[in-house]
Amino acid sequence: MKKQELIAVFVANHQQVVQYIDGLEDSKCSYRYQDKWTAEEHLVHILLTITPFPKVLSSKEFISAQFGTVDRQTWDYETVLHHYAQTSLKAPEAYLPKGEVLYQQKAAIISGMQQHLTDIENLLGNYSEEELDTLSLPHPLLGKLTIREMFYLMSYHPVHHQKQIERILEMY
């Protein structure tokens, strides 16, 4: 997937889950099935996972110095998802929603996500295809990934959570 398509899919998939959750009525947003997250908690989690990117993507020099490069063939989308499926799929503590998320907070969460998506879209546009395939970022479950691989995974991530929400709401 070339850079422009990768950026478009990343943004579109996040917009899709935002629109889905934003369209849920209050009782569905706050519905908790057993120990599963509410739709609002999924939204907070998704926001937390994209929050580091505007800062880190603002400096290629920082990425290179801090995380280095990947000296292997870039994995394609399917390979990234295959490797991800082999992990625990458990989000680290830093990416977990803290406390109850209230329906009234939804608009502010969505606004923050929209701003991050715009920032990420603009920053990724400054990277060459080669930089996307060589510069690395650390993933808490997969280790060192190229920026392209990271955004393959981050493009899949909101869709994965929307499917979880849809399954939970089948119990509603």
Query: Into which CATH architecture does domain 3-169 fall?
Result: Up-down Bundle (1.20)
pLDDT at 5: 98
pLDDT at residue 30, rounded to an integer: 93
Distances (CA, A) of 64 to 57, 67, 138, 148, 150: 11, 6, 12, 15, 15
Structure tokens at 48: 């937390």
What band does 118 get if pLDDT is binned at 50, 70 and 90? very high
Q: For residue 103, is pLDDT > 80?
A: no
Average pLDDT over residues 5-33: 96
CB 1 within 8 A of CB 152: yes
Rounded-to-integer distance, Cα 141 and Cα 88, Å: 8
Would you place residue 104 in the very low, low, confident or very high pLDDT band (cuts 50, 70, 90)?
confident
pLDDT score of 146:
98
State the average pLDDT over residues 30-43: 94
HSE-up of residue 87 (Cα within 13 Å, Cβ side): 15
